[in-house]
Chain A
Amino acid sequence: MSAFPARWDQRGARIVGALVLVASVLAVAGIARTVSLPHGLAQPYVATAFLVFISIGEFIRVTLPGDRESAPLGLAGALGYALLTEFGPTTLATQGFGQVIAVTVTGILIGALPHLAAGRPPQVDAVSRRIIVVSAVAIGFRATGLHDFVASLPMDSRWAAAGVMVALVVLGMALDTALATSVVVAGEHAPFGVALRDEARAMVGLGSAVGATGVLIALSAAIMGVWSLPVLAMPLFLTQFSFRRYSGIRQTYLETIRSLSRVTDVGGYTETGHGRRVSELSVAVARELGMPETGLRELEYAALLHDIGQLSLSEPIPRGATLMVPPSEQRRIAGLGAQVIREAGVLDRVAEIVEKQAEPYRQGHTPDDPSIPLSSRIIRVVNAYDDMVAGSLEFARRMDALEHLRMGLAAEYDPKVVDRLSHVVQRYSRMGV
């Protein structure tokens, strides 16, 4: 789903609505098709095995870095069922694509139930995408001649079967990436190219492992039967587990920095919530300016910690507004902050961003100083804005602040950052936040 939690407007809600609609139509059609068949369920034993597997996989869903919800095991099981040709040495898998969709949707619902009961609903767009992708692969494999072609291959040409399946899964994952991108673009006003690259990068990780496992389940079920499910789940389970921990520590890291950035509030150096507001607004502005995800993360850290240098001051600046102190002092505080952050040895780029926040985007007669990172320019602008507005919802005050920033365009503030900030602020004001 969205790479960074942001405040969404109508555009985002519309695209998610469209995804849910498509997924629902597919689900209803699949179930209707299955129950309307004269023979009823094909191979109920096989269907049940996959249903159980998909439910469990959905139940142990994970949230990946960038707040992307995923159910690797459930999706791999569903893909395996979509691509299944034989189940054990003697059973041909005869389920139609409708049955695949029906089993997948049922499994997802069962797996989501405990979470729903506990008040943790799944991300609806992520669930919809899973249903759409499985449906697409199932239809592509079972409603075309591909299934019959693969089933007719002799044992020594299994690699060709694998090739066909891998190709289909890759297409499915590409579709998933495109859908995820459209959600981010609509919800966060990110440029399409950047969002696509971010989503594709995220997909190549766990997505490829999911696809590989789905294909292997389908291929190995021919000899291992029902055992192929638990056995092949093991490597993917390990992967999922590692990713969960990775994403967990990243979340913790962010929480820690968010919390510890409040020390300047508690110490009376800054207005309450200043760091948090600057970081949220900075990320929203950077998103619109097309900053990739890796950069956003550094920006967020830097924005949270941008006032940490004030800890070294013996007397707090009134209201913590660095806007009000002379440039030389601003630079000194930024330098002290960068020094603190550099001390950690792991946040050098964040330190650089903090250091350069006190620099104007251009010097004297040069049009633009390329040594000032975009992140520093953004923090400089948003910090000044928040020093003036201080989280107020009052529209006039916000517009005054933006006007004040525009007066500084000539030397202080990067015009394209101010332009985007004004866009974001107006968007938020319309939404009442």
Chain B
Amino acid sequence: MVVALSPEVDRLSVPVPPAAVPRPGAWRMELSAAAKRYIAAVIAAGAVALGGAVLAEARSAHPWPPALVGLVALAALAEFIQITVFRDKVGLSTYSIILLATLAILGVPAAVLLAVVPGLAYVRLGPVKWAFNTAMFAIGAVVAGGAYVGLGGPVGGFHGFSWRDVLAFLAADLLYMVVNGVLVARVVAYAEHLPVKAVVATTLAPTAITYLGNGLFGLLLAVLWLDAGLGPVAALLILLPLYLAYWAYSQFSGEQLAHERTIATLIQAVETKDLYTRGHNERVAKAVVIIGRQLRMPEERVETLRYAGTLHDVGKLAVPTRVLQKEGRLTDEEFETIKMHPLRGLEVVRDIEFLDEAFRGILHHHERMDGRGYPMGLAGGAIPEFARVIAVADAFDSMTSTRSYRSARGVPEALAELQECAGTQFDPRMVDALVAGVQRVGWTPQTGRPYVPGDPAGTGEVLYDHDDPAYARMFTRDLPVAPAVPSAGPPAEDDPDPRVPER
């Protein structure tokens, strides 16, 4: 329940939740002396705020109104039915809405007292965390309440619409979020040895707008409670749709995760058939994302591109195992079956609507810029952009992976080879993007021994990888058969290279 979103969440580029309230949670590591001092200071300030609130409430004209009981009960309900998404990483709760409404309904002291309620959820984490979180909520309420009252926000009734009231409420909304967010970010930064700025950037910033918007429902609640004379009934009626929105959101994000995992798993299952491309699809997906981001494609397109990368070889299942496992050179006929795999891949995925642009990427990922590729022989700009991206990523991963007929080439070597083939086989723009992207974020090639088939279906050695540019060249007619593969491994040096066609 630490606020920090995991890299996994980032990878999925999950849309911002509607009301992601940063939840301070379990910090696990040993805290430094400075961190301990910081926590003590926050707790002390919180205690002062709470003590002051009790005194102020007791001395007010109408102390401890029944509405306070109602609001406390609502806050407790909101916390109790809080919805967590991403396995407890973000909590969705209507608490902040109730708190902000309390400012306008009963005033600052009542709102500060409300801080006790969400704090209770942290009792099970030990007294320090409980005290810290309670204090944090109280301080947030003091600051937000001060701003609201200071800017002339009315307490106990709005009496007609005024922009000033709305502004005062917005200020309270904003400050509550900022104070809470910064207090938590500080402690997370201590615990995880990160700069505060980085924590704020990953936790608070992405959800700020939606959070602010949700806070405004507090204003609506206050208006209905006070001016429409509905009291707590208003709260129940208005919080119900919001609660359901959070629920649906959490279901959505759960399904999205499940969907991702299912695709990845099924693709792995397909990979078991083709002995040595284990992990290939996943790495191609990573490489196409690098290229897409480098080209500054919108995040949505990058996402589709990633799917296209994952699924690009699904049609290889249609290639008979005996062809995939054949030793020595393929006949033209056998190569024809390999050339069919993009078509068969499309046949599998064509009904998955959201893939849309990915279809063309999958279908044409073996086209070449000079028009000598397959299945259609498209050339240059006629090749869909996704296909040009995948072609580069595909060859890159193939070259940096170990094959039984050659060892893996180093990343710089593979990139150089791609650059050499830019213009004829690959789109230079994509190659440049990959080169720049890999420099920026790095690349972890397939490591370890070549994948030796000790596999369920394993009967033979695999000699050829259809994604290997050198291999592809063998089947591209009228091309000078350059000794294009700088031989990184000994086999090609000493033996007559089996890849050079006889003709």
Given contacts A212-B237, A249-B255, is CB(A268)–CB(B318) below 8 Å? yes
A206–B244 alpha-carbon span in the complex (Å): 7
Chain A residue contacts of B229, Cβ below 8 A: 155-156, 158
User: Contacts of B252 on A, CB cut-off 8 Å?
Assistant: 242, 245-246, 249
Q: How near does chain B come to A159, taking the closest CB pair, in angstroms? A: 5
- Say yes or no: A343 contacts B268, CB within 8 Å: yes
B237→A250 contact, CB < 8 A: no
B242 to A235, Cβ gap below 8 A? yes
Minimum CB–CB distance from B280 to chain A (whole Å) comes to 16
Chain A positions within 8 Å of B458 at CB level? 314
With contacts A222-B228, A249-B255 taken as known, whether A231 is within 8 angstroms of B220 at the C-beta atoms is yes
- The reply to whether B242 and A246 form a contact with Cβ atoms under 8 Å apart is no
Could you say which interface size class chain A belongs to? Answer: 35 or more
Q: Within 8 Å of chain B (Cβ to Cβ): is A393?
A: no
- State which residues 66-90 of A face B: CB under 8 Å: none
Contact B228 A219, beta carbon cutoff 8 Å: yes
B241 at the interface (CB under 8 A from A): yes
Residues of B within 8 A of A344 (CB): 258, 261-262, 264-266
Interface presence of A259 (CB below 8 A): yes
- Contact between chains at B230 and A219 (CB < 8 Å): yes
Binds B, one of A41-49, A114-122, A305-313, A359-367: A305-313
The binding surface of chain B is classed by DSSP as helix
Which secondary structure characterizes the binding site on chain A? helix
Smallest CB separation, A261 vs chain B (Å)? 8
Kindly state the separation between the CA atoms of A256 and B351 in the bound complex, as whole angstroms: 8
Report how far A266 CA is from B337 CA in the complex, Å.
12
Q: Does A239 contact B (CB under 8 A)?
A: yes
CA distance A345 to B227 in the complex (A): 51
Contacts A238-B18, A249-B256, A263-B348 hold; do A216 and B270 have CB atoms under 8 A apart? no
Which residues does chain A contribute within 8 Å of B456, judged by CB atoms? 312-314, 336
- State the CA gap A232–B251 with chains docked (Å): 24
CB distance from B98 to the nearest CB of A (A): 14
Return the contact of A266 from the options B272, B348, B353 (Cβ within 8 A): B348
A252 CB contact (under 8 Å) in B240, B259, B457, B459: B259
Given contacts A263-B270, A266-B344, A311-B273, contact A220 B228 (CB under 8 A): yes
- Provide the residues of chain B in CB contact with A216, threshold 8 Å: 224, 234, 237-238
* Inter-subunit contact A312/B457 (CB<8 Å): yes
Asked if B259 contacts A208 (CB within 8 A), the reply is: no
State how many angstroms separate the Cβ of B71 from the closest Cβ of chain A. 16
Q: Provide the B260-282 mask, 1 if CB < 8 A to any CB of A, else 0.
A: 01111110111011000000000
Q: How distant is the Cα of A331 from the Cα of B273 in the complex, in angstroms?
A: 20
Chain A 194-231 interface residues, beta-carbon cutoff 8 Å to B: 205-206, 208-209, 212-213, 215-216, 219-220, 222-224, 231
Q: Contacts A219-B230, A266-B318, A347-B258; is A234 near B217 (CB within 8 Å)? A: yes
A343–B237 Cα gap in the complex (Å)?
Answer: 43
Chain B residues with CB below 8 A from A148, complex form: none
Do A162 and B230 touch (CB < 8 A)? yes
Q: Which residues of A are found within 8 Å of B230, using beta-carbon distances? A: 158-159, 162, 219
B237 and A162 within 8 A (CB): yes
Do the beta carbons of B258 and A235 come within 8 Å of each other?
no
Structural contact, B315 and A209, CB atoms closer than 8 A: no
B266 interface neighbour in A159, A260, A345, Cβ under 8 Å: A260
Which A residues are CB-close (under 8 A) to B354? 252, 255
Q: A239-B245, A255-B352, A268-B318 are in contact. Are A313 and B347 (CB under 8 A)?
A: no
Q: In the bound complex, how far is the Cα of B322 from the Cα of A314, in angstroms?
A: 9
A232 to B457: give the CA distance in the assembly, Å.
61
> Does the CB pair B257–A346 fall under 8 Å?
yes
Chain A nearest CB from B282 CB (Å) reads 13
Does A143 make an interface contact (CB < 8 A)?
no
Is B114 an interface position by the 8 A CB rule? no
Taking the nearest CB of chain A, how far is it from the CB of B459, in angstroms? 6
Contact A252:B352 (CB < 8 A) given known A220-B224, A238-B241, A239-B242: yes
Partner of B255, one of A158, A242, A250, A263: A250
Looking at the assembled complex, report how far the CB atom of A74 sits from the nearest CB atom of chain B, in whole angstroms: 15
- Whose C-beta in chain B lies nearest to the C-beta of A253? B259
A262 adjacent to chain B (CB < 8 Å): yes
Q: Does B314 contact A (CB under 8 A)?
A: yes
Which A338-361 residues have C-beta < 8 A from chain B?
A: 340-341, 343-347
Q: How far does the Cβ of A303 sit from chain B's closest Cβ, in whole Å?
A: 15
> In the bound complex, do residue A308 and residue B269 qualify as a contact, i.e. CB atoms below 8 Å apart?
yes
Sample of 10 more A-B contacts, CB < 8 Å, known A224-B223, A239-B244: A212-B240, A238-B242, A242-B248, A243-B248, A256-B259, A256-B262, A256-B263, A256-B352, A259-B348, A263-B348
Which residues of B pack against A, CB within 8 Å? 18, 217, 220, 223-224, 227-231, 233-234, 236-238, 240-242, 244-249, 251-252, 255-259, 261-266, 268-270, 272-273, 314-315, 317-318, 320-321, 344, 347-354, 456-459
9 smallest A-B Cβ distances: which pairs?
Answer: A242-B248, A209-B241, A314-B457, A267-B317, A344-B265, A346-B258, A239-B245, A246-B252, A235-B241
